[in-house]
Amino acid sequence: MSIMQMDQAAVAATYKRFPVEIVSGKGSVVVDPQGKEYIDMGSGIGVTAFGIADEAWQQAVIEQIGKVQHMSNLYYTEPCARLATMLCEKTGMKKVFFSNSGAEANECAIKVARKYALQQHGADHYTIVTLQQSFHGRTLATLAATGQDVFHSQFLPLPEGFVSVPANDIEAIKAAAIEHKAAALMLECVQGEGGVRALDADYLQAVAAFAKEQDILLIVDEVQAGNGRTGKLYSYMHFGIQPDIISTAKGLSGGLPLGATLMSAKVENVLTYGDHGSTFGGNPVCCAAAISVFGRLTDELLAEVMAKGEYIREQLIGAPGVEAVTGLGLMIGIKTTKPAAEVLKTCMDNGVLCLTAKDKLRLLPALNIPQEVLAKAISVIKAACAE
Ligand SMILES: *Cc1c(COP(=O)(O)O)cnc(C)c1O
């Protein structure tokens, strides 16, 4: 039996997988069982920040596995404490709760917001206002937070206390927040799954000012756009706003499951003993991996991310079959004349793995993809768009 046959027989059919089996890789190149190489322009959906089998990352993981692979959260471990310290130092946030995924990082953010609003404003202040075309996860609460009805209809009833409004419409979010006595506004500064769309800077600034004035918390979902992806450490840093809570995951640990919820001074003491927990959250191996990633998100690396993003834009804007290029840094959406799924298929046949988001081709390459590998991938993508 091939990997594909075995998988189809025994793994739940929730993923529409491409007929590609990956057995190994190095950097931005992955390899199938026959030795065919693909350039990986998706990084496991923005997860393998420094590529496949990155040496520094591997070393950090192996070293920690050799010491202790897991302890319960009843005890202290160094990687967890060190990573939280790094995250706070780099963002000005005060406390971190570690979990295992983006959805869980958002669940924690929602719990913090609900408890804060209960304490400050009363029991009827529990609603989380989110944006249409957002994506916040697959658990029931984060599904409710996700402003896309396609994900909802078969899983009703969803937890209550979530409403979504159109993005970039300041009056709509203000009205919903007042009407529903919002506990928090929750958004992605660059919507990922919703079509790789950066929100308007003046909208984000107006939202942040309104939230502050009303003492409604601002939760920024940095699960996909965070950890260097857009050319800043976190995407909100492009827009001159200050969130009360940041959630992140995907690229944080470079390929191991880790979520983090960062809390500002305003909410740092909201969660107390017994309020929240996770058996695996803050796992020492995942945290050691994240320290290896996070320690390398230097100004030089971020400048490189910006430069590579610019290179991709220069190559693609105005190219045949390309209608628009969206996103920030190395989080890129390409509106193609042909259906994005067809362009993706052509790229795959020609050895380049891409993603889609709604009607766009989406690229989330490793932050350190070598320029010559990137150039090769872009030439394949350009040809596929033009075909
Ligand atoms: C992927 C994603 C999530 C969900 O993360 P999981 O790790 O799959 O739970 C949440 N928010 C955003 C913005 C994402 O891109």
Q: What is the pLDDT of residues 204-246, one digit of tens each?
A: 999 999 999 999 999 999 999 999 999 999 999 999 999 999 9
| Ligand 1 mean position, distance from CA 374 (Å) | 25
| Closest ligand 1 atom number to CA of residue 45 | 1
- Reply yes or no on whether the pLDDT at 152 is more than 90: no
Band of pLDDT at residue 156, cut at 50, 70 and 90: very high
Tell me which amino acid residue 16 is. K
Non-local CB neighbours of 321 within 8 Å, separated by 6+ positions:
336, 337, 338, 343, 385, 386, 387
CATH superfamily of 3-53+298-386: Aspartate Aminotransferase, domain 1 (3.90.1150.10)
> In the chain, which residues fall in CATH 3.90.1150.10?
3-53+298-386
- Reply yes or no on whether the pLDDT at 69 is more than 90: yes
* Whole-angstrom distance, CA of residue 227 vs CA of residue 217: 22
Proportion of the chain above pLDDT 70, given as a percent: 100
Q: What are the phi and psi torsion angles at 353 (to 5°)?
A: -95, 120
| Closest ligand 1 atom number to CA of residue 103 | 9
| Ligand 1 mean position, distance from CA 351 (Å) | 27
| Closest ligand 1 atom number to CA of residue 249 | 7
Average pLDDT (9-19) is 96
| Ligand 1 mean position, distance from CA 191 (Å) | 11
Q: Is 144 in the pocket of ligand 1 (CB under 6 A)?
A: no
| Ligand 1 mean position, distance from CA 5 (Å) | 28
Angle at 377 between CA 360 and CA 19, to 5 degrees: 70
Closest by CA to 191, choosing from 233, 131, 138, is 131
Neighbours of 168 (CB within 10 A): 14
Closest C-alpha to ligand 1, atom 5: 102
| φ/ψ bin of 329: left (φ > 0), alpha (ψ from -120 to 50), beta (otherwise) | left
Average pLDDT (123-129) is 98
- Reply yes or no on whether the pLDDT at 251 is more than 90: yes
Both tokens of 234, joined, read 């976190």
- Reply yes or no on whether the pLDDT at 151 is more than 90: no
> In the chain, which residues fall in CATH 3.40.640.10?
57-294
Ligand 1 pocket check: which of 140, 250, 286 to mutate, most ligand atoms within 8 Å of Cβ? 250
| Closest ligand 1 atom number to CA of residue 192 | 15
Ligand 1 pocket check: which of 199, 221, 223, 252 to mutate, most ligand atoms within 8 Å of Cβ? 223
* Whole-angstrom distance, CA of residue 184 vs CA of residue 212: 10
* Whole-angstrom distance, CA of residue 211 vs CA of residue 182: 10
Q: Is 103 in the pocket of ligand 1 (CB under 6 A)?
A: yes
CB 219 within 8 Å of CB 245: yes
Both tokens of 107, joined, read 């669940």
**pTM beyond 0.85:** yes
Average pLDDT (258-270) is 98
Q: Is 137 in the pocket of ligand 1 (CB under 6 A)?
A: yes
Query: For all residues of the chain together, what is the average pLDDT?
Result: 97
- Reply yes or no on whether the pLDDT at 148 is more than 90: no
| Ligand 1 mean position, distance from CA 253 (Å) | 14
Q: In the CATH scheme, what architecture does the domain 57-294 have?
A: 3-Layer(aba) Sandwich (3.40)
| Closest ligand 1 atom number to CA of residue 102 | 5
| Ligand 1 mean position, distance from CA 93 (Å) | 21
| Ligand 1 mean position, distance from CA 387 (Å) | 33
- Reply yes or no on whether the pLDDT at 327 is more than 90: yes
